[in-house]
Each structure stands twice: as structure tokens, then as C-alpha cells.
Structure 1
Amino acid sequence: MEITVIHLIILGVITGLTKGAGLLPEGPLNAAVGGTVMFTTTLTPAEKPFITAAWKFGDRNIITSNVGNITGPEYEGRITYFTSTASLELRNLTLNDSGEYRVTITPQGEAQKHGNISLSVHVPVSNVTVNASGTDLVEFSSSVHLSCSSSGSSLSFLWLNGSSEVAASDRVQLTDGGSTLTIVNVTRYDQGPFRCRVFNPFSNGTSDPVNLTISYGPENIYFTISPTQESFEEGSNTSLSCSAVSRPSALFNWFLNGDLQSDTGPELTLINIQMSHSGNYSCQAFNKKTMRYQTSQPSVVSVLERISGASVKSSTNMPIEGSSVNLTCDAAGAVFTRKWVKDGSNLTLTENMILHDNNRVLSFISLNKKDSGEYSCKISNPINTEEATYTVVVNYGPENVQITGPNEIHIEQTLTLTCSAESTPSASYTWTLNGAELQNSAIFTKNITELSDSGNYICEAMNNVTGRTSSSVVHQLSVTAVKTSPCSAGCIAGLVIACLVICGAGFGGGYYIYKKRINNKPQAHDTEREEHMYENTSEVYENI
């Protein structure tokens, strides 16, 4: 549009150059058919009439003013002449009035003046319409021709897409003076609205909008699973959705492991899903206008059976130290992982343990007593987790057999000997003396009555589960006839000294009384008493 206006300006400047450029304004003048134009000179109103003034259109006289005004026959009733400035008004214009107008003026006392100017008479712009070769198009495949027509003269054309001016490019062509717009391999952005604006120097007009329907896609296909999770429990529900950028809206088909399903539409709902519903799902979008389609990447729907009935079973109910045992962890349902725990802590494998069959079996190559404990197996899948527990009791022994009890005892005392051993389950015990079986118990008791009860008391331990018998343990016992003082040597010495002191005091007191009585009684009687006192003292010492 800017180029067209510049051309018109340049044309007007060239046309408007006159010898009397100062007498008339620069042209050209523009007017409409049936309208009016005013040719106004630059002169100030004269006090005295001009000697002569004449207007001509080409070789045709319009008006000559001398003594009187003479009007050309073609202009009778169409002009008004202003004598004070020699200006001219021309009415009821036709296309034939377009051309160059000249004026010659001879003021009184001045030299003659000349001027000329061009007039362009235009038919006003009207009835602007646009015709399209087609409006239902396919992106990248279709082309379209838009033709603009209008009533009027000296017409120029401008195309608009929305509010933006359409410019020529590799895909866009403007021909027939700009009245025809051709778009090759249309895109979705060429849908319009397109308008044609027509103008001439006097008027302009714009067509009604034309919209193109451009089909495109499908593209940018998007597939989602709701709820969003890796696996679904058997019997649950899930929904699969598919979308794509497409005009018109795409049609959708569904595939399971590459096989076309009977379900159609942008959403596929799976109710009470079973194991048979597991697989790779994909959706395909199809545009019936463009005849194009796009398929999504497959997404996995994994249907799992809930874990139930978890258990840990042993290959034997009576594990014995040194033997091999298998603990097997099993459950119904879809098992993904198994994790072993011992006594509440994650199981640390020792040299005699092996996990195999995807951690299903825990094998003990050679049991030892430290392997006893509570073993738990946690079985998991993305749906749920179950745990089963088994208590391992390693049967072992007997070992480390010991006898506790006295090594010396007196006749008429009770003998108690205790036999113990490390054993699971608890061991049974047998006592023998000099080859004769005495008793079957951990504690052996006997009232000692004879010196012959002395000897080697033997204890033998046996584990009824392991079937093992310990080595015999010997306990030597000595039986004595004299009952020894329970008092210690120091205690005995103290008692002897105390008795001697008491006896000495008694003897001294008795002797004092005896001497006193001798002095008061006959001698024969006193001698008898003294002998009796010594007899008593001798008995005391014997008892001591």
C-alpha cells in the first residue's frame, strides 16, 4: 500500500508542475463522478476587474471574461466563475472531465499570468467482493485462489489476514494487479479471515471476511492411564485416555499387544480387570479429512493377583546340629520380591547359608546352634505385602557335661550330686557306681550308711532327639566314719583355752575353800574331801 501511495504522489507532483506554479496550487485534484471541484487561484481579490481571464480544458474553452463572460456550451449551468480571484467551480463531474485545466489572467497594470492543474475524476469504490476457489482445504496438500472484484476506477488492492497485511512469499502469490491472492500448500495459520481492501485516490472499500476451513493432524498424540500406577489389583478398575491435536477431531482406535480392539473413542474404561487384561496398550488417532493417522507409544497395564496365604515351611520338624535344612517361603498371588529377616533384623548370610530360587529357599548346609531363632519372610508386589514367620530350634548336645557335689561325706549324711549338660532339648541322665545303675535323673540323692558307698559316681547324658550320648563324667566320693567337727581349727583352739581357764578357776576356788575348812575341822575328814575334789576335776579333764 505504501508503494502505491508513493507512486500517486510522484505522479501528482509531475502532473502539477506548471509554468505558473504560483497561480494555482499543486495538483492533481481528485473528485468523484457527479461531484464538484474548486479550482482556486492564489490571487487576492482585485479592486479592479481583470483585463482578461480565460479557463480552458485542453483545447476547449470553459469561460472567457473580457467585457462580458462567455461560457462554453458544454459548461452551461455547470460552472461558477469568481471575478475577484478568477477562481472556478465545476459541478456534475464526469469521467470525461479528467485532464489538465489552464488559466490565463491579465491584471490591470501587470503582466499576463498563467497556471495549470490536473483533475482526476474517479468512480467511487463499491461492491468489493472476494471469491475463493475452495474453502475446505487440507494442510500441506491444498492450494487456494482468492479473487477480489470491485466497482470503481483507478483501483488498488490490499489483502488482509486478520489484522495483518498479506505479503508475497514462496507460498503466497499476488497477481492481476494484486486482485488475486494464491496460497500454495496451505497451513492451519492460513485460515483467515481474509479481506480485500480496494481503494482509489478518492475512496476505498473492504470486502466481507472469507474464512478457510483447513483440516490438519492428527499430531502430538497423548496417552494416559488413570490412576497413574505401575500395577493394578485384579478386580479393580482403570481408565485409559487418548488425545491428539486434530481438525476435525480425530477418531480413536485401541490396540492390545498390537491387536485391534472393538472399543473406540478417546477413552477406554476397564472394569473388574483380570490377568487377561495385562499387556501393552496403545491408541491410534485418525483424521478422516486428512486421511492421516498417528499411533501412541505402548503403555503397560500390569494386572496382579493380591498376595495371600504367605507361609514358611521347613524340610524337617526336628532340625539337628550338623544336618542340612531348607526353609521355603511361598504364597499365592503374584510374588515380586522376598526378603528374609531373623529376630527382627535383616538376615545376614553366614558361610553355612544359601539363598536360591529367587530367595524362595533359604538353605542351611550344616546347622549350628547359633542358627536358632525366628525367621520371617516378607513377600511383596506393587499391590501388597505379606509376612510369614517360622521359629527354628536347632537340637544339639549333650555336651559340656558336669557333676557338682561334695567329694567327701560321713556316714549317716545325705549325698546330693547334680549332673548338667548343654542340650536342646534337655538331656536325660543315668547314674552308675562301680558298674551298677543307680538312678535316672539330673539330681542324684542317697543316704550314706556304709563306708562302701565310697567310689566313682558316673553320670552319662543323652539327647533323645539327636540320639547322641555324652562321654561319662566321673565324680570321686570318699565316705568317713568319724564325724569331724564342723568347727574350724581356730574355733577348736579357742574352745580348749576357754575350758582350761574355767577349769583352772574352779580348781583354784575349790582349793581355797578346802584349805579354809582344814583349819577349822579334824584332819582326817579334810583329807577325804580333798580326794573327792580331785576325782571330780579329773572327770572334767577327761570330758574335755
Structure 2
Amino acid sequence: MFRSVACLALALSGWCVGEDVLPPGPLNGAVAGAVTFTTTLKPPQSVFLSVRWSFKDNNIITSTSTDIIDPKYANRISLDRATGTLELRNLVLEDTGEYTVTIIPDAGLPKQGKATLNVYALITEATIRSPAAVLIEGKSSTNLSCEALGSISTREWTKDDRPLLPSGRVTFSANNKTVFLQPVHSSTRGTYQCRVSNPVSTVTAARDLTVNYGPHNISIIGPSEAAPGQRVALQCTADSVPPANFSWMFNGNDTRVNNSVYTIERFEVQRIGNYTCTARNMVTMLENSTVLNLRASCSAPQWSYLLLLISAMIRSYIRIEVVVLLFFEFSTKAPAKQIDLFVTTMKTSSKALLTVLKMVFVSLISAQQVKVLPEVRGYLGQDVTLPCQFISGSKDTVVSHEWELQTPEGMEIQIAVSNIRLGVTVPDSFRKGRVEIKEQSLIIHKVEMKDAGSYTCTITTFPSGSFKGSTQLHVQDGSGGLSVGAIVRIVILCLATSSLAAGGGYYIYKKRINKNDTPRPESNVKESHRGAEWAEPNFPRTAVVCTTELEESVYENTYNVHDN
């Protein structure tokens, strides 16, 4: 007995203490909640002589043969006498601190343990507040303040479910309570969240932030080429908050169309030109524009229809006028009712075949095309010319011509556009001031290495459409090569030689045909055909063939083909 009393006295004074009987802490509890201080001891064979719990040097409970409890903890604690575990209920903030347990077993040294308890108030009513203002990109600044009730340990900010980090426009207060956004940007808009937490509770507040900006990234969605008679719809889009108002101009003239879609019910030559869409933001008071150059589309390739014509001519039972009409209709993509064509029904003979072949030859010798050089070499710091010449048909009108560059990286860049109404336009780029269009050729002054690439010359005509030719520009360091004047002279010489060769071939061809023809005196011409002229077919317009009495065995039943 004397030994137990003495050891208890030593234990209470801090002497004669053995192993730590509490796990490492701390323990966390919520106001009005409960925590349990669980010891690491197993129930002994004989009960402990004494179990004592204290808080800040004040005894909570001392349990021996009887329990002595501090009145402040009455009805708030429960003690497991077998293990020394203590439950503390109805927590208050003042319960935060260090707790000590001292256990004196029936045999052996006293055991002691210490644990820290942290009591937190639950977090409630979390909200994000910001000044009431209309925010405009680049002009306004704002801040967001995260407020809540309870014991706040941390505040974490996110935007659109991603962590919000400090940057040139984003800064935080010392305790992360407030985030400053200055100035706001279009990327500033979104949903901001503040996560307020402590070890026993977490609450998240959210707020949507609107930033008025734009219009940015304005573009026109629609075709850049259209066939005569085609319906065309152009849609204008822009990034803008609030949504932008749209208006349209055609070749610099107001169209009175004030919505995002511009519709051309039937495309005609008068509709060729530049369509300008302007987007306006009525809050930011800013506007932005873009231009689409609408051209006539290229006609279908004639070679496929030429093969159809030749194969049909091989069959003697095919009526030649049907084949000729098909050739005209397919090569021009025009409906039959638009072709004023006089065709003579011909019997199968060598004269009929020769006549149709001569018509095809005349059509092909006058076909439209764009003449360019496949490759041009330029030298750093010098001027270079990319020649382009359009070999025009007799009935075509050149509406515009344009130069585009496809860089080695695959980017397509508009270099210059020349329009019969608007003149020459050079978009803003590092080439502006260094390029010019002379006639249809492109001149680049003081060539740089980044000027290298594939240049496309596009000639837009009406009604035939667009024709293209590409030139590969190679840029080298050093001097050399031909001068601009020399290149132009070579191109002109080549084109002149080609034209003379074509004209000479056609002249010889006509002479051979005329040699086999017998002169026809005027007295043998029918009275109904007197005064008529022999006319070569001129595609795709009117073709006239006259007959005489001497050819009645070959030609008969002249009639006028119309599609009513």
C-alpha cells in the first residue's frame, strides 16, 4: 500500500513515468461535436490503481476507487477505466489545447501520454463579393473577395475548375481572401470559385464574372467563287460580348443588310467584288471588319467534253447538231435556252466531220489560260518579278486578279488584290510597301528569305470564271540572275512566239481546206441566202453556217435550234 501511494505521488509530480500511451496527434473536433482520446493500452489483468486526465494543469478527472470530476466537465466526459480512454463531448473553442493522461498500473511504472486537441467552428455562408461595375476589356479592373463564417484555415481560388495562379493580371492579398484582376481581359471572364476549409468542414462559393470585349476574330464563312445563277450565302461571325451587330457593304457601298447573313439569290456579273462585313459591339463601342472577294467560278474542263464529242463523231448515225450543242452547253455550263445557236443538220460525210473538227480547233486555239513561269529565282536585297499573263477569250471580261502565297510551312497568305472597281489592295503584312502589281505580274522589292514559297496568280473573269497559275519562288543569298527587264522581255518573247506559231498553224490549216473548195459564184447562191457571210464558230455564243445550191447533196433542212 505504501508503495502504491508513493508511486502515485511521484507520478503526479512527473517522476517515475514510463511509456507514452497516446498516439501522435493532433486531434481535430468541431464546435458542439465530440472527440475521443484513445490510449494504446490493452485492458490489464488487474485494474489500474489510478487514471488521471488534466488540461492545462487543471484536473479534469481523477479516478481511483472513486471519481473526482471538475464541475466544468460534468456530463461532458466519459472514462474507460480499463484502458484509460477519455471521451469529451459538447466541444467549445476553449477546449483547444494540450491534454495529459497519467495511468498507474497495479504493477510497474506509471504511464503517461500527451495529445493536442484543436476545436474549429464549422464554416458557413461562404460568398464571393465584387464591386458592381460594367467591365470592359483593357479598360476596367476589379477584385473578388472571399468571405465566410467559421474557423477559416485556408482559401483556395479556382477559375473554370482550374487553379487560379498569380500572373501579370492576377494578384492575391496576404491571406488569399481577395484576388485582384487588373486590367480585365477577354480571358478573365468565367466562373470563379473560392474553397474555404478547415480540418472539419469545407464550403465552396462561386461567382460568374462577365467581361465585355470584342469584336475579335471576325470572319466571313462562304464561298469565294460562285457560278452564274448560283445562290450564295455569306455568314459573318465574330467573338464578342455582348453579341455584335453586323452590317454589310458591297464594293464600298452600304447594302442596308444588318444581320449576320448576306444572301445573293442569283449570282450575276454585277455581284462580283468585295463584300465587307463590319461587326460592332454596342458596349465596348468597338468595331472590326473583314473582306471577302467573291469571284466567278471556273468553268468545267473542256477536254472531258472534247473526248465525248470525238467518240460521238465516230458513229455515223449520230446527228452532228446534237453533239455540237452538247459541246457548247457543257463547255460553258450555260443552259440551252441561253445559247443562241443556229445548227445545220448534216448528213454523214467527210465534209461534215471536217467542219466539226474545224470548229473544235478554233475553240481550243482561243481557250483561256494563265501564263506563268513554273520557277523564279530571287536574290536577297534585289527586286524580283513573278510574271503572269492571262490569255483571254474574245467574250470574257477580267474582273480582278489576285496573288496569294503558300509558305513552306503550309500557310496561305493574300499578297495583293487588283479589282476593276476598287483598284489595288495590299493587306497589312511585312510585305506591305514591298509589293506591287504591274498589269497582272507581281513585283517584290528587296527580296527577303521569308518571301520564298509558291505564289498563285488568280485571274477572275466573267462569265468563264477563275483561272490560276502557280510560280515557285526560290530566294538565295548573293547576287546574280536576270534583271527584271530581261525576264519581262523573255516572257513577252515566249508568248509572242506561241501566238505566232498558233496563228501560223491555223492559217496553213485554212489554206488547205480552201484549196479543196470550188469557188461559188454569187449567181448560184439562193435568193433567200443572198448577202449572207461565211462565219467561223465563236464559242460559246452564236455559230452560223450558210448553204448553197451546190451543197444540197450535203446540207439540207437548215433550222434554228431554240430551247423554249
Question: Please, what TM-score do these two structures have when normalized by structure 1?
Answer: 0.51
Which residue of 2 is the match for residue 31 of structure 1? 29
SS for the counterpart of 2:72 is helix
Give the equivalent residue in structure 2 for 1:267. Answer: 261
User: What secondary structure is seen at the aligned counterpart in 2 of 1:262?
Assistant: coil
- Give the one of 205, 209, 212 matched to 1:212: 209
The number of residue pairs the alignment matches comes to 330
Q: CA deviation at 1:282?
A: 1.7
Task: Identify if the C-alpha distance between structure 1 residues 352 and 155 changes in structure 2 by more than 3 Å, giving closer, same or farther.
Answer: closer
Q: Which amino acid aligns with 2:255?
A: Q
Of 484, 497, 503, the match for 1:349: 503
Gaps of 5+ in 2: 1-16, 298-333, 343-365, 367-392, 399-460, 464-499, 520-532, 549-564
* CA distance in structure 2 between the partners assigned to 1:225 and 1:376 by the alignment: 43
- Partner SS for 1:74: helix
- Match of residue 284 from structure 1: 278
Q: Distance between the aligned counterparts of 1:118 and 1:20, measured in 2?
A: 20
Instruction: State the 1:52 CA deviation.
Output: 3.4
Change (3 A) 1:107 1:189: same
> Relative contact order (alpha carbons < 8 A, sep ≥ 6): 1 or 2 greater?
2
SS of the residue 1:145 aligns to = strand
Counterpart residue number, 1:254: 248
Map of 2:361 onto structure 1:
none
> Could you say what secondary structure the match of 2:75 adopts?
coil
Q: Percent identity?
A: 32
Partner of 1:123 in structure 2?
121
SS of 1:290 mapped into structure 2: coil
CA gap 1:83/1:218 in 2 versus in 1, 3 angstroms:
same
Instruction: Report the Cα distance in structure 2 between the residues aligned to 1:151 and 1:310, rounded to whole angstroms.
Output: 91
Shift of 1:224: 5.0
Counterpart of 1:51 (choices 34, 49, 52) is: 49
Superimposed CA distance per residue, residues 486-517 of structure 1 (whole angstroms, 9 cap, x where no aligned partner): xxxxxxxxxxxxxxxxxxxxxxxxxxxxxxxx
2:214 and 2:102 map into 1 onto residues whose CA distance is 73
My pick for the range that moved more, 370-379 or 177-186, is 370-379
1:218/1:245 contact within 8 Å kept = yes
Residue 257 of structure 1 aligns with an amino acid whose one-letter code is N
1:508 aligns to what?
A: none
**Contact 1:158–1:196 (8 Å) recurs in 2:** yes
- Rate the CA distance shift 1:136–1:238 in 2: closer, same or farther, 3 A: same
Check whether the contact 1:20–1:115 (CA below 8 A) recurs between aligned residues: no
Distance across 2 between alignment mates of 1:86 and 1:224: 80
Cα distance in structure 2, aligned partners of 1:126 and 1:78: 26
* Aligned partners of 1:135 and 1:213 also within 8 Å: no
Determine the C-alpha separation between the residues in 1 that align with 2:179 and 2:19: 42
Alpha-carbon separation, structure 2, partners of 1:79 and 1:335:
102
Return the alpha-carbon distance in structure 2 between the equivalents of residues 102 and 371 of structure 1. Answer: 132
- The CA distance in 1 between the partners of 2:339 and 2:244, in whole Å, is 45
Match of 1:82 in 2: 80
TM-superposition CA deviations, 1:378-425 (whole Å, max 9, x none): 545xxx644345799xxxxxxxxxxxxxxxxxxxxxxxxxxxxxxxxx
1:178 Cα shift? 1.9
1:63, distance to aligned residue in structure 2 (A): 1.5
Preserved CA contact (<8 Å) 1:155 1:199:
yes
Structure 1 residue 186: Cα displacement? 4.1
Structure 1: gaps of 5 or more residues: 1-18, 312-328, 339-345, 355-361, 393-544
Partner of 1:222: 219
C-alpha RMSD over aligned residues: 4.4
Q: CA deviation at 1:95?
A: 0.6
By how many angstroms is 1:205 displaced?
1.6
Q: Secondary structure at the match of 1:96?
A: helix
The AA in structure 1 aligned to 2:216 is E
If you compute each CA radius of gyration, which structure gives the higher value, 1 or 2? 1
Mapped pair 1:167 → 2:165:
yes
**Conserved 8 A contact 1:284-1:296:** yes
Q: Who is 2:67 aligned against? A: 69
Distance of 2:506 and 2:71 partners within structure 1: 135
Q: CA deviation at 1:185?
A: 4.1
Contact 2:224 2:293 in 1 (8 A): no
Contact 2:171 2:180 in 1 (8 A): yes
Tell me the amino acid that sits aligned with residue 210 of structure 2.
Answer: T
Matched ranges for 1:325-404 at <5 A:
349-350=503-504, 370=515, 376-379=535-538, 385-388=541-544
Of stretches 194-203 and 118-127 in structure 1, the one that deviates more from structure 2 is 194-203
Return closer, same or farther for 1:391/1:186 CA change in 2, 3 Å cut-off: farther
More helix by share: 2
Contact 2:20–2:112 (CA<8 Å) still a contact in 1? no
Structure 2 vs 1, CA of residues 224 and 165 (structure 1 numbering), >3 Å: closer, same or farther?
closer
1:111 aligned to 2:265? no
Q: How big is the shift at 1:108?
A: 2.5
Residue 240 and residue 377 in structure 1: after superposition, are their counterparts in 2 closer, same or farther (change >3 A)?
farther
Alignment of 1:299 onto 2:293: yes
- Deviation at residue 61 of structure 1 after TM alignment: 1.6
Question: Shift of residue 172 of structure 1?
Answer: 2.7
Asked if 2 retains the 8 angstrom alpha-carbon contact of 1:281 and 1:301, the reply is no
Q: Is the 8 A contact 1:130 1:196 kept in 2?
A: yes
Is the strand fraction higher in 1 or 2? Answer: 1
3-state SS in 1 of match to 2:283: coil
Contact 1:32 1:124 in 2 (8 A): yes
